[in-house]
Amino acid sequence: MVPGRVIDELAQEYAHRPVVFVEQNAWAPLGERHSRFYAACTASCYDTPQVMVSSGHQWASGEVDYHAEYSRMVEEELARPPQAEIEAHYVRIGQRIRADIRVKNLSEVILSPENEATVHLIIYEDKHVGQTGRIVRAAPWVEITTDLMPGATMTFTLETPDLSGVDWAKLHGVALVDYRPGGESGPYDMLQAVFASPITHRVYLPFAQR
C-alpha cells in the first residue's frame, strides 16, 4: 500500500471532521509550508514520504505504519484547543485568488516578527497529480509585522500568482496562522486553521467595507 493511497483513505475517514490532507512536490514546494517540516525534523527526516501535522508540531518521514502513525498525529492535533480564531473568505479575480483573513489571537503569546508569526493561504485542487487526490496550487503567506497582542484582531489580504491549467470549480482554500515558540529557532506551531469560504458576490468587498 503506497502512502498516497493511505492518505486518500484517511481523507475519506476524516471527511466529516475539520481535517484536510493536501500534497505538494517536496522538490518544488510552494509558499513556506515545507520549511516548517525542516524546522521541526531531525537529521534523519530526509526520507520520503514526508508528512507533517499542523506546522510541524508533529511529523513523520520514511517507512512507518502510515495509517496508524498519521491517524495518531491527527487525533492528537484535534484534541488541542485552538489558539486563534480565524475568519477567511476568498474570491477569484482574473486568474488569481484573493483572500481576506481575519485573525484574533486567543493565545497568551504576542504574535510578532520576533517569533516569526505568519498567516498562510493554501489553495489546493481536487485532482490526482502525484500521490493523492488533493494537490497544492498556491500557498501565499505574509509575516505579522505589527505585534498582534493577546485578544487583539488583525486582517490580512493574500493573493496567489496567476493560476493556469486548474479546474476553478475544484479549488479550495485553507487559511492558517502559525509562529515559532522558540523565537528564531526550533519548530513552528499552528494556532488554528480554517477552511476559507468562497465569495460568490459579483462585487468583491474587503472586510473593512462589508
Query: What is the reported pTM?
Result: 0.89
What is the distance between the alpha carbons of residues 129 and 133, in angstroms, rounded to a whole number?
7
DSSP label of 108: S
What is the distance between the alpha carbons of residues 133 and 41, in angstroms, rounded to a whole number?
26
What is the distance between the alpha carbons of residues 18 and 13, in angstroms, rounded to a whole number?
11
Q: What is the pLDDT of residues 11-45, one digit of tens each?
A: 999 999 999 888 888 788 899 988 888 888 866 67
Per-residue cell: 2: 503506497
Q: What is the pLDDT of residues 79-89, one digit of tens each?
A: 999 999 999 99
